[in-house]
Amino acid sequence: MVSFKGYEEIIKKTYGSGQDHVFRHWGELNETEKKQLLDDLSEIDFDALKALFSKKQSHAEINFGPAPYIHLPSDAAEERERDRAAEAGREHIEGGGTAAFMVAGGQGSRLGFEGPKGKFRIAPVSGKSLFQIHAEKVFKYSGKYGVEIPLLIMTSRANHEETGAFFAENSYFGLNPASVKIFPQNMMPSLDSAGKLILESNHGVFKNPDGHGGSLTALQTSGSLDYLEKKGVKTISYFQVDNPLAKIIDPVFIGYHILKGAEISSKAIRKAYPEEKVGVFVEFSNGSVGVVEYSDLPGEKTFMKKGGDLVYSSANIAIHLFDASFVKRLTTGGGVSLPFHVAKKKIRSYTECGYLEVDGLKYEKFVFDALPLTERNVVFETVREEEFAPVKNASGVDSVESARALMSSLFRKWLESRGIAVPRQVMEIEISPLLAVDPEDLPVPLKIDGREKVYLERS
């Protein structure tokens, strides 16, 4: 058995759990590397990991129906109800009740971009990064509602420092640095197909970020919940870094959330076609609401129709509102009990023969698994083209090109809705968030030049 002063317990635990292969390169390590490996091991809950590996993945409960949701207004009465919600939401925002929360801890492996995904330059004309677009939106909303809206950013081990440095180099894109909180999420070890830890180097265990569901625990452990409480923030507006169209602060959505006293509210869009790879909102037999992933939705439910419409049609776009005190209740004490989901992935593993690709098991939590734990929630329908442009892949579906096209076409609509003529020659158009986060912010009259690419910035 290897030995190192002060680490006797963890060494014993590692051997006792049958994971002592991680010490295979011990003889090659210097004292610092030995300590790094042991510190890495100290963070692992071996018993929980063993239990996870032996657990049969239970498929989602099949006893469910479609979840009720607030649909887009179809008559004057429903329009008036929306106006009332907008009023309540505006009041809440102006009173300092809301913070923005961006999750940016993912690995962005499909995009294949080196560095934090938020640094990816997505804007169709200016080439602004995802981080800049989101930060500038928060800046604009703060001005619009006359209140400093805090921005929380969750990172992970691999991109935390680079994210912090990017914001600092860019002077936080005009935001007050004291109101921008950047904190990393937890990491979770992956296992090989025999349940063994995988080495990423001779002195490091391979770990992946613990999923966007890890964000609730990270809000607590980073001290962000206490920070928000001191500032009087009650509502956390959650969105993903890779959706440049996310309406980060939406008074109508916030209004419904507040009026209903919801613990979590979620935005939904209509599924584009039955097999679209999105999760759908459902109501389980015990009355709780949740999301069932497309891969878990049985075939007959995927295609089920009523009156010509898909029955399971409200799709999750990962925009939620969290009641801060609900998150606190969930995460204090024993921690959030969101389940881990397993995904099979090829992982680069350090072995005695150098680096090899092995079949690995990656464990992640999903944030929407908190939904069934609520007593009150809202599912709120919105328009796909106005709020959803995921940047997952370099090309094809949900890609850089599709997101740029969606941005351009939304901005064109904004201009047209304000009676601003867009000349035919204009192919790509971009509106800076500093100029407008909603069409109503656009200054009119406004003249657009007949160029191929148009960028509208604050003057």
User: Which listed range, 38-46, 121-129, 136-144, 240-248, lies at the site for ligand UTP (CB under 6 A)?
Assistant: 240-248
107 versus 126: smaller Cβ distance to ligand UTP: 107
Instruction: Find the shortest distance in angstroms from Cβ 32 to ligand UTP.
Output: 28
- Judged by CB under 6 A, which stretch of 80-88, 211-219, 369-377, 429-437 contacts ligand UTP? 211-219
Would you call the peptide bond into 439 cis, given omega within 30 degrees of 0 as the criterion?
A: no
Q: Please work out the total of residues on this chain that contact ligand UTP, with binding judged by CB under 6 A.
A: 22
Q: How far is the CB of 116 from ligand UTP (least distance, A)?
A: 9
| Residue number with CB closer to ligand UTP (215 or 432) | 215
Rounded-to-integer distance, Cα 342 and Cα 403, Å: 29
How far apart CA 12 and CA 51 sit, in angstroms, is 19
Among 211, 255, 290, 433, which residue interacts with ligand UTP (rule: CB under 6 A)?
211
| Nearer CB in complex with ligand UTP: 104/310 | 104
Residue 108 found at the interface with ligand UTP (CB under 6 A): yes
236 interacts with ligand UTP by CB under 6 A: no
Interface with ligand UTP, residue 221, by CB under 6 A:
no
Find the shortest distance in angstroms from Cβ 134 to ligand UTP.
11
List 131, 207, 238, 242, residue binding ligand UTP (CB under 6 A)? 242
Whether the CB-CB separation of 190 and 361 falls below 8 Å is answered with: yes
- Minimal distance, residue 109 CB to ligand UTP, in Å: 3
Footprint of ligand UTP on 142-171 (CB under 6 A): 154, 156
Binding flag, residue 345, ligand UTP (CB under 6 A) = no
Q: Taking CB under 6 A as the rule, does residue 212 contact ligand UTP?
A: yes
Q: What are phi and psi of 96, to 5 degrees?
A: 80, 20
Q: What would the two tokens of residue 209 be?
A: 């970020």
* 117 near ligand UTP, judged by CB under 6 A: yes
Stretch that binds ligand UTP, among 65-73, 84-92, 105-113, 377-385 (CB under 6 A): 105-113
The least CB distance from residue 348 to ligand UTP, in Å, is 14
Residue with tokens 């009173």: 95
Report the alpha-carbon distance of residue 344 to residue 151 in Å, rounded.
Answer: 33
Q: Any contact of residue 391 with ligand UTP (CB under 6 A)? A: no
Q: Which of 142, 220, 240, 408 is close enough to bind ligand UTP by CB under 6 A?
A: 240
From candidates 38, 52, 103, 219, binder to ligand UTP by CB under 6 A: 103
Q: Taking the complex as a whole, how short is the minimal distance between the CB of residue 374 and ligand UTP, in angstroms?
A: 20
**Minimum distance from residue 107 beta carbon to ligand UTP (Å):** 4
Pick the binder of ligand UTP from 241, 268, 358, 378 (CB under 6 A). 241
Whose Cβ is closer to ligand UTP: residue 158's or residue 225's? 158
For ligand UTP, the nearest residue by Cβ is 106
Q: Does 369 bind ligand UTP (CB under 6 A)?
A: no
Nearer to ligand UTP among residue 152 and residue 426 (C-beta): 152
Single out the residue of 110, 196, 270, 413 in contact with ligand UTP (rule: CB under 6 A): 110
Question: Could you list the residues that contact ligand UTP (CB under 6 A)?
Answer: 103-110, 117, 154, 156, 185, 209-212, 214, 240-242, 364, 392
